[in-house]
Amino acid sequence: MKRRIYDISLIIGLVLCNIVAITGFSQEKKLLKDSYPFDYDRFMYLYEKDSILPAKKMIEQSISASLKKHDNHGAAIGYNTIGMLYERIGNYEVAREYYKKSHNYVAADGNQLKINLVQDKLLEVCIKGKFYHCFDSLYPIAQSLAAKLQTENLLKNQLLKAKMFYNRHMFDSLYSFTEQLIPVIQKTNLSTLNITRDSLYANFKTSIVYQLRLYNAYAQIKNSSGDIREDGYRELLKLDADSLRIYVIRHKHTDHYFYALLSMLSYYKGVYYKERQIF
């Protein structure tokens, strides 16, 4: 039984780690297509096939051309794209180094909005790669800039912090953090934020709150107090399958995330009913 619980915990972590990457690759594709005079269709073919080295070579040639023209913007896009290539295959250490290079060129231009976007990438890869020291150092900086600019990363970064607590099994911190944060985000008026993502969908806030509720319930289930665990199960049982469909709206290939989350909810419902011999 302990082994099964470990496996389902791993599934939850992997699923939520991917769901948290709300923005996808659409904006980067548009920037690439607009900025670089190369065979864009060929690059996307290589990207989809995970042919990292040939795709990387194409981008490196474009970066070289940008640097010759002292085009920091073009270089930043290129390094960001190579970072995404390595992130795609799970090489988070190398991805982080390329995102850092992208950040340096964006910072050289002094565009704070672009700096905030790259910081978002760095925070995500720190979570995926379990570079928690990096996350702890960057989070207050990125969150301060997001607050100043009032971008949607103000909300998204907080979800990443919840993910960090989850990964580190800091369930008490996860519970207190999500307990305080959920009502704040529920009251947030998205119209007051500077939405920077072309692909940001209407259910952005609903998605953030849903994931925080899931973390909150899970943290309570992991608590040693029986009363708190009961509260956690009750909260988890409120998260019905229909609500999970918010994740399918944006990506046509994300059904596996939906089914993984549905499986997790079904698993804990099963645990709940079995413990109480409700059949």
| Reported confidence tier of residue 1, pLDDT bands at 50, 70, 90 | very low
Q: What is the dihedral of CA 153, 156, 160, 165, to 10 degrees?
A: 120
Examine the pLDDT at 24 and tell me if it is beyond 70: no
CA 1, chain centre distance (Å): 30
Mean pLDDT, rounded, for 51-59: 84
> Which class for 140: exposed (0-12), middle (13-18), buried (19 or more C-beta within 10 A)?
exposed
Q: Which pLDDT score, from 0 to 100, does residue 239 have?
A: 74
Mean pLDDT, rounded, for 163-169: 90
Mean pLDDT, rounded, for 184-190: 85
CA distances from 117 to 113, 200, 204, 248 (A): 6, 13, 17, 24
Q: Which pLDDT score, from 0 to 100, does residue 47 have?
A: 74
Per 3-state DSSP, what percentage of the chain is helix, strand, and coil (rounded to 5)? 80, 0, 20
Mean pLDDT, rounded, for 132-161: 93
Yes or no: say if 170 and 135 are a contact pair by the CB < 8 Å rule: no
Q: What is the pTM assigned to this prediction?
A: 0.75
Closest to 264 (Cα-Cα) out of 214, 219, 213: 214
Yes or no: say if 264 and 15 are a contact pair by the CB < 8 Å rule: yes
**Tens digits of residue pLDDT in 219-275:** 888 877 777 778 888 887 777 655 555 555 554 444 455 566 667 667 777 777 787
Mean pLDDT, rounded, for 44-72: 84
Q: What is the DSSP letter of 247?
A: G
Yes or no: say if 177 and 162 are a contact pair by the CB < 8 Å rule: yes
Examine the pLDDT at 22 and tell me if it is beyond 50: no
State what percent of residues in the chain have pLDDT above 70: 73
Yes or no: say if 208 and 159 are a contact pair by the CB < 8 Å rule: yes
Alpha-carbon gap, residue 130 to 40, rounded angstroms: 32
Examine the pLDDT at 57 and tell me if it is beyond 60: yes
Yes or no: say if 160 and 143 are a contact pair by the CB < 8 Å rule: no
Which residues have C-beta within 8 Å of that of residue 1, sequence separation ≥ 6?
Answer: none
**Tens digits of residue pLDDT in 213-232:** 888 888 888 877 777 778 88
State what percent of residues in the chain have pLDDT above 90: 28
Q: What is the dihedral of CA 117, 122, 123, 129, to 10 degrees?
A: 150
Alpha-carbon gap, residue 157 to 183, rounded angstroms: 16
Alpha-carbon gap, residue 194 to 123, rounded angstroms: 20
